[in-house]
Amino acid sequence: MSEPMSPPEGFAIGHWTDERAETGCTVILPPAGSACGVDVRGGGPGSRETEIISPLANAQEATAVLFTGGSAYGLAAADGVVRWCEEQGRGYPTPGGLVPLVPAAVIYDLIAGDGSVRPGPDQGYEACESARGGVPARGRLGAGAGAAVAKAMGREGSTPGGVGYAAAALGSGETVAAIAVVNATGDVIDADGTALAEPRGSDGKRRRSAELVASFRGKPEWAQGEPRESTTLVCVLTDAPLDKLAANKVARMASAGIARAVDPVYTPFDGDIVFCLAAGDGEPRPVDSWRVMTAGTLAATVTAASIRDAIRSANPA
């Protein structure tokens, strides 16, 4: 598997991982003044400060984006990211000083390892300390340490998920990259339509989740409670000149990449969220529909590729 392109200059990605507890967190640190957008599609999202980057909110930027395990408990890790950003002089300017804006989203991994261990402020801070430019580490680490996919027959028949990454260049020279944390209910589908991950029954045979779900007569026997342990999280990183509204539009287009690579997708049990961070100089720019078209189209492509990369990186054999 060849090494992908690096993210745009100025972006840094860091992980904190507890391998024994199978949990962790992943932080994306953009250049100062980067516009940020978000698209929430899943039926069970767990998040913090996503409204501040919605198109109607006043703030135009995000200081960092955090992905974390630990379900809702893991959102506490964002406090550590805020603390680190404040110490580094990063944040949204207010009369009382800089206030770091850190949108965050979680996956449910409490049943993967030791559910009593969850990322907190110190772990979010450590992820920031570890952040570096270049192609990030991928596989079963960071927020993807306890991830699993293809859970239509229960977690026992699932496939390990994890963190994936992909990037490509626009014809105009800018880079569009995506980092994904893949913990989906559905299967992961390759570009040619074959399954990279699908559920395995007690007989060892694998079947497509879409076929299984369609054959269920009510809730399957293994589902004693409602499954709530699934989510695909993506952050698009680009140096294309996008304002906040354009970044939200690109995030929405990038969500199509999840639908290309995960089936079924956006279920009631998945908290699927896509962020888009666009590096800028802080100056407002008018929305350019063609720029959104080109960046969003490529964002969907690299989003799908990053999801597939997560499965390959988590299952190298």
Write out pLDDT tens, residues 218-240. 666 655 454 557 999 999 999 99
- Per-residue model confidence (pLDDT) at position 62: 96
Alpha carbon distance, N-terminus to C-terminus of the chain = 12
Write out pLDDT tens, residues 118-134. 999 999 999 999 999 99
- Per-residue model confidence (pLDDT) at position 282: 46
Q: For 80, phi and psi rounded to 5 degrees?
A: -70, -35
- Per-residue model confidence (pLDDT) at position 186: 93
- Per-residue model confidence (pLDDT) at position 286: 62
Percent of the chain with pLDDT over 90: 77
What domains, with CATH codes, occur in the chain?
A: 12-314 (3.60.70.12)
- Per-residue model confidence (pLDDT) at position 231: 94
Write out pLDDT tens, residues 246-301. 999 999 999 999 999 999 999 988 999 999 999 965 454 566 888 899 999 999 99
Greater confidence (153 vs 256) lies with 256
DSSP designation for 116:
T
